[in-house]
Amino acid sequence: MNNADYTILLVEDEENDATLLKMAFKQNKITDGVQWVRDGMEATEYLNGTGKYAQRDVFPFPDVMILDLKMPRMNGLELLEWIGKNSHYRIIPTIVMTSSHQDPDIEKAYQLGANTYLIKPSSFQELVDMAGKIHAYWQLAVKPRGNGKKG
């Protein structure tokens, strides 16, 4: 299979990191299915399907979310907390991918519902390998079919 058969919502404020991750997915033959937003506030708009994200055929409800922690406006932990208060979004498997090795961040992310916590690799090849493993796992995993409907 050449493309993702699921939608990945990438929540990352650093354009270079987002570009590198998208390139790493492309190296793994994943050329569709990655939607990028720049912070937690934009992620809430995407999840709610509001504003520029209102067209679900263009911005499909995500099957998996990859989330950075250190972002402006609404950081990753705040987004996880928001998701926890909005039960219809808790079904989205969430991968934290960040540079923070701090135990309090790791513990808090899991307490708030993160499914996995990964440290951003230091080389592009390691990122390619990680993206391939993420894709292989989530391609095999049975994911809930959320539709973004509340209630």
The matching CATH number, chosen from 3.40.109.10, 3.60.90.10, 3.40.50.300, 3.40.50.2300, for 8-140 is 3.40.50.2300
Q: Residues 82-140: pLDDT tens digits?
A: 999 998 899 899 999 999 899 999 999 999 999 999 999 999 999 999 999 988 888 77
Rounded to the nearest angstrom, the gap between the alpha carbon of residue 73 and the centroid of all alpha carbons in its chain is 17
Q: Alpha-carbon distance 75 to 67, whole Å?
A: 9
Is residue 66 within 8 Å of 22, Cβ to Cβ?
A: no
Give the torsion sign (CA, 81, 51, 37, 90). positive
Relative to beta strand 34-37, strand 64-67 is unpaired
Q: What is the pLDDT of residue 145?
A: 65
Q: Is the predicted pLDDT of residue 2 greater than 60, yes or no?
A: no
Put the strands of the sheet holding 64-67 in their side by side order. 34-37, 8-11, 64-67, 94-98, 116-119
Q: What is the pLDDT of residue 74?
A: 95
Q: What are phi and psi of 123, to 5 degrees?
A: -125, 155
pLDDT tier, 147 (very low <50, low <70, confident <90, very high otherwise): low
Q: Which amino acid is it at 114?
A: A
Q: Which of 74, 84, 85 is nearest to 40 (CA)?
A: 74
Q: Residues 13-68: pLDDT tens digits?
A: 999 999 999 999 999 988 778 999 999 999 999 999 999 999 999 999 998 999 99
